[in-house]
Structure 1
Amino acid sequence: MSARRTPWWHYAVGIVMGLICGAALVKIGESSEFSLIGAPWIVPIVLAILGVVVFAMAYQVHQVVKGKRKYINPAVSVYALVLSKALGLAAAALLGWYMGQLLMSLGHADAPFYTQAMVECGVSAVVCLADMIVGIVGEWFCQLPPNEGPEHPKAKAAERQRKLAAASPASASASAESVRE
């Protein structure tokens, strides 16, 4: 399986999209009786637990890659990588979502409802930032070193040295003499 690292701009797009949607939610809530801003306290708790679990899984894979642990189920390795990618991207979008709500609510900071929503969004945004970092680091932890095959940098350097030695004038004359004999 060949997995590529998530480009940095995917996280940026997630944050911007979440920011726009979160800000739009506050604007809609201002103009209607129905408001959905804020986050229940269970949200940052669950997100923090999820971040710890994903980090632990990715760290186990990292231990195997570094040779400090003998074996890990390959399915667990794939799950750790996929969860790290998903956590990083989802946390980026949620970070933007909660920051958008927080920024749009600043004008209403004197109202108790908005003050409580701002605190909830602030805590959730901090947890989402930590989860995004955990996702990025977890993805890095799951990165395997290059195999020792022909594409390995050491093998390429050795092949290059062998070709240079074969192409040098001294080796060409020595091989010509051995052919004459």
Structure 2
Amino acid sequence: MKAMRPVVLLLIAVVAAVIAWLATMATNRFSMATPVLPESALITMGVIAGLTLIMGIRVLRWRNGKKKNMLNPILAARTLILAQACAYAGTLLLGWHAGISIDLLRVSLRSGEGILWNALLMGGGGVAMVVVGIVVERFCRIPPEDFEGGTPGPDTRRGETKGEGEYAYRGD
């Protein structure tokens, strides 16, 4: 499994912002509602980010040697996938609501002030999801161990060798 690239996340956010900006311009032109998520979506975003963080802490504890039990490889894989999905979803939400915010700032602050604050809140929730996703992805990395020559050594828990950039799950 490959690590997320910040450039790809940035590209997704920019594309989503452009599409949202165009969608907001179209909905405003035809007197339709602005396509922004309601405030209740913050609860869902918080639950997703919280569960991702809890699962990531479990992997981090195992990685740091604070657990005596073997880590379930399926749990590690699910945690990594959840972290990446959280970051991608957060990026998409951030980009979408940034595009809406840009259009609302351009049109008028007075007419869409409530919607603007809503869009800014959703963008902030997207930022939180991205941060949690990236941090938990880092939790899932197995650091190389330093054995006299600075080369990766055997994993005492599994009897395997570790290289830089590997994850706790070795399913590839």
Scaled by the length of structure 1, what TM-score is found?
Answer: 0.76
- Report percent identity of matched pairs: 20
What SS does the aligned partner of 2:113 have? helix
Structure 2 gaps of 5+ residues are 154-172
Q: Deviations over 1:22-68 (max 9, x none)?
A: 11121011111322332211111110111011011011101101101
Aligned Cα RMSD in Å? 1.8
Q: Name whichever of 139-148 and 123-132 sits farther off.
A: 139-148
Contact 2:28–2:34 (CA under 8 A) maintained in structure 1: no
For 1:91 and 1:132, how far apart are their aligned partners in 2?
5
For 1:76 and 1:23, how far apart are their aligned partners in 2?
39
1:115 paired to 2:103: no
Q: Aligned pair in 2 of structure 1 residues 154, 100: CA closer, same or farther (>3 Å)?
A: closer
Return the offset for 1:147. 7.8
Return the offset for 1:117. 0.9
For 1:45 and 1:119, how far apart are their aligned partners in 2?
16
Aligned to 2:96: 97
Deviation above 4 Å: which 4+ runs of structure 1?
Answer: none
Contact 2:94–2:126 (CA under 8 A) maintained in structure 1: yes
Greater share of helix? 1
What SS does the aligned partner of 1:6 have? coil
Scaled by the length of structure 2, what TM-score is found?
Answer: 0.80
Q: Deviations over 1:75-112 (max 9, x none)?
A: 1111100000111111111101001101110122111x
Task: Tell which structure's C-alpha radius of gyration is larger.
Answer: 1
For 1:154 and 1:133, how far apart are their aligned partners in 2?
29
Q: Name whichever of 32-41 and 88-97 sits farther off.
A: 32-41
Q: Aligned AA for 2:15?
A: M
Aligned to 1:63: 61
Q: Aligned AA for 1:88?
A: A
For 1:13 and 1:40, how far apart are their aligned partners in 2?
25
For 1:31 and 1:154, how far apart are their aligned partners in 2?
60
